[in-house]
Amino acid sequence: MLAVVVTLIVIVLYATGGVFSGLRTAANTVVEPFNWSVNEVARPVGHFFAGAVNYSDVVSQNQKLRYELGEAQQRSNELWSYERQLEQESTELDVPFVGSLPTVAAQVTTLSPTSFAATVDIDKGRNQGVLAGMPVVANGGLVGSVLSTTPNGATVRLISDTSSSIGVTFANGTTDIVVSGRGVNNGLAATSVPLTTTLSPGTLLATDGLEGGLFPPGLPVAKVATITLTPGAATYNLTLRPTSDLRHLSYVDVVLWEPSA
């Protein structure tokens, strides 16, 4: 009996093992396609997220590069502007004709000419030694004189102002005439010039520096543009072109000079 029971148990275990093995095989067969599908679907999704992260990094780096490029461009523009300003300042303040007279460089802050009055404001005043009546020059020659001052600013009346009158000379200082302003767009003029005076278009007129005059001698003022002779008159009239560009002033020099000096 014992042998029979043992034999039955062995048979049952073998049979059971076979069934379980079959079930495992069947289960693997059923599940395997799903494993493949999940892997195939999950792999692109993983790539997508990885790509998204990489793309975000690229966008961030691109924005950073654009910002840095913009800063570099701005610095380049500022440097160019500074160099241009320095060049312009150096050009406009090149005034060898003042000789050894001391000067104060100033920037024009306001240019406010009208049809008759012509004035500019500058950023230097009494605190820098600028006083009313002092000559103001720029590249080319005389541009005007200080009309009024504040501690750190001044108003300059240009030579084209209708109330401006300047004693000038030419022909090696042998002939003196008075030059008057005719308004911003009308240049300068001189009237009642004796017929005995010899001059021609292009003749340079400079301040005469007579005792008690408002300006030191030798400051260029204007050049003769046209000469008009009235028939039967004993004098002729001149239209003159200022030696400085009065309409585009950016920097000027105030000559620290007073008539009593």
Higher pLDDT among residues 222 and 170, named by residue: 222
Question: If DSSP states are collapsed to H, E and C, what string results for 19-73?
Answer: HHHHHHHHHHHHHHHHHHHHHHHHHHHHHHHHHHHHHHHHHHHHHHHHHHHHHHH
Q: How many CB atoms lie within 10 A of CB 168?
A: 24
- The chain-wide mean pLDDT, for the chain, equals 78
Provide the residue type at 103 as one letter.
T
Q: What is the pLDDT of residue 93?
A: 64
Residue 22 pLDDT level (bands cut at 50, 70, 90): very low
Residue-level pLDDT at 260: 62
Query: What pLDDT does 61 receive?
Result: 81
Question: In terms of Cα–Cα distance, which of 100, 104, 101 is closest to 125?
Answer: 104
Q: What is residue 40's predicted lDDT score, i.e. its pLDDT?
A: 52
Whether residue 36 is predicted with pLDDT greater than 80 in this model: the reply is no
Neighbours of 106 (CB within 10 A): 23
pLDDT at 81 over 80: no
Amino acid making up residue 69: L
Q: What is the mean pLDDT of residues 22-39?
A: 47
CB atoms within 10 A of CB 173: 12
Of the chain, the percentage scoring pLDDT greater than 70 comes to 67
Give this prediction's pTM.
0.65
Range list of β-strands (E), 210-250: 220-229, 235-242
Domain limits, the chain: 1-92, 101-255
- Average pLDDT on 45-65 reads 66
Structure tokens at 84: 């241009």
Fill in the DSSP letter of residue 162.
Answer: T
Q: What is the pLDDT of residues 236-249, one digit of tens each?
A: 899 999 999 998 89
pLDDT confidence tier of residue 44, bands split at 50, 70 and 90: low
Superfamily classification of domain 101-255: Rod shape-determining protein MreC, domain 1 (2.40.10.340)
Residue 39 reports pLDDT greater than 70: no
Tens of pLDDT along 189-238?
998 888 888 888 999 999 988 766 789 999 999 999 999 987 888 888 99
Question: What tens digit of pLDDT does each residue of 109-156 get?
Answer: 987 766 667 899 999 999 999 999 999 999 999 999 999 999 999 999
